[in-house]
Structures are given as C-alpha cells and as structure tokens.
Amino acid sequence: MKALTPVKIEGLFLDYDGTISPINVPREQSGVLPQIESALYQIRQLVPVGVITTKDLAFILPKTPFAHVWATVAGLELKIGEKIVTAPGVEPALTRLRLALRYAKQHLADDIIIEEKRDAMGQTIAFCVDWRQAKKATAVKSKVAQVMACSEALRLEVIKYEGQPFFDVYPFPVDKGKALTELRGSFGLKSGVMYMGDSKVDNPAFKVADIGIGVLHGESPSELDCDYYVRFEDVANLFQHLLENNLVFGATFPEIERR
C-alpha cells in the first residue's frame, strides 16, 4: 500500500475498457459513460490526463478527446502531442504476426470476432480473438486453443484473461508500466500520478504509479496489484469527489475500498 496519507493528484492515467467504458458491450457501442466523461473534461483543465489501452489509436482517439496523451495497443504506440512513436522491435515481428492472423482467419468461424489492432500507418501490429458471441462454445474452445498454440509457436506474446472468452496476441511482451513511465515523463511528473485499470495487463502500471486503483466489475480478475479498489459504477463519483477535494486523493473517500 503506497498511499496511506492524502495525496495531491498531479496526473491521471486510465485504462479504457472496464475502467471508464463498460466492459461487455459490442465494439461499435463502446464509449465513455457521460458522467465520467464530464468529470474528466473538468480534471483535464487542472492536470494531465492520459489513456493507456489495448485498443488502437484509430479507435481510441475519438472516444477519449479529453485526454492529452495516449499509449495504445498496450504501449506499442504512443501519441504525445503531434508525435506518434512505435515501440522498437514491432516491425521485425510483423511477418510472424501476420502468419498467426492468417491462421486465425482461416480456422475460426464467422461468429468469432478477430479485432485487428493497427498502428498510425494502418498496419496490423496486434490482434484480439473474442468468442463471446459464438454459438457453439464447445467447438469454439478447440479452435481457439489451436490459434493460441499457433501464435505461441511463432514466438508471439499471447495474453489470456482469467475466465474471459477472449485473448490478445502481441509481437512481444507488452508493458503498460513502461508506457506510463514514458507518458508521465513527458510532463515531468515526479509524484502524484494516479493510474486506474481493471485487468492483469494493468499490473505493471499499478506498480509504477504513486496511487494504483483497480476497477471492479463482473469480469474483474481475482487479484490486481493495486493500492485500492473502486467499483465501476462508482468511478464517476470518485472523480467528482476528487474535483470537490481539489484533486487531493484520500483513502477515506466513500467509493474507495482497501485491498
């Protein structure tokens, strides 16, 4: 537990799905809840706000206009001002990634969604396989396992989520903690950095944040390496209390739950 006393928030960095946007909705319906968005527009007038997400830049930019900076595809691409930077090592791995993607498209049924995550140039640098809408769950598991095995055999990074009907494939291990370090560094933030997320991919960012808050919902994993918890339905109220308290965070906020 890092934050035992009140801390003035100097920068707010956020995951997207399950943190400021409902987790279990179709991609085309995804969006930041109005109350959360309204509070974030107010917060951005006071401190830097950033988004660190597994979504790609083309998807997330129009969804989060209140942010100042973005780390997309779990940190493989950063947007700071007008500058967009792709992580070194992505390009050499793309041939293997394309082979895995082709295999997935050839072996998975149409009711399994393959979400391609593209960089600013439009080339696919990661992908997600999502079988939440699949009609035949038993048959799907076998096919999905084959795609996972193919991806791992190609030395790609496969991230599975506890109890979830989807997984991500990246060219190499991703690190949201490194992304957070780079984004906070772009503002020269030495302290007072809060990070909020809802999955194990967020754990590295929790570790480097000054305050890490895990967001709880029906699909949250059993363990997050955060300092505190807040329920998804209470996120807007938490932001409102931060604003009312001049962005001084306190563990006594009614929305906050200790680990």
Q: What is the pLDDT of residues 180-215, one digit of tens each?
A: 999 999 999 999 999 999 999 999 999 999 999 999
Percent of the chain at pLDDT above 90?
81
Token output for 155: 């030395």
How would you classify the pairing of strands 211-216 and 228-231?
A: parallel
73 in Cβ contact with 125 (< 8 Å): yes
Measured distance CA(157)–CA(154) in Å, rounded: 9
88 Cβ contact list (under 8 Å, min separation 6): none
What is the reported pLDDT for 238? 97
Measured distance CA(129)–CA(205) in Å, rounded: 24
CA distances from 139 to 18, 115, 131, 142 (A): 28, 20, 11, 6
> Which pTM was predicted?
0.93
What is the reported pLDDT for 107? 93
Measured distance CA(212)–CA(210) in Å, rounded: 7
What is the reported pLDDT for 53? 98
Dihedral sign, Cα of residue 12, residue 17, residue 18, residue 22:
positive
Of 164, 168, 124, which is closest to residue 147 (Cα–Cα)?
Answer: 168
Counting as low any pLDDT under 50, the low residues of the chain are 3
How confident is the model over 159-178, as pLDDT tens digits?
Answer: 998 778 899 999 999 999 99
The domains of the chain, with CATH numbers, are: 7-86+175-258 (3.40.50.1000), 90-170 (3.30.70)
What is the reported pLDDT for 2? 56
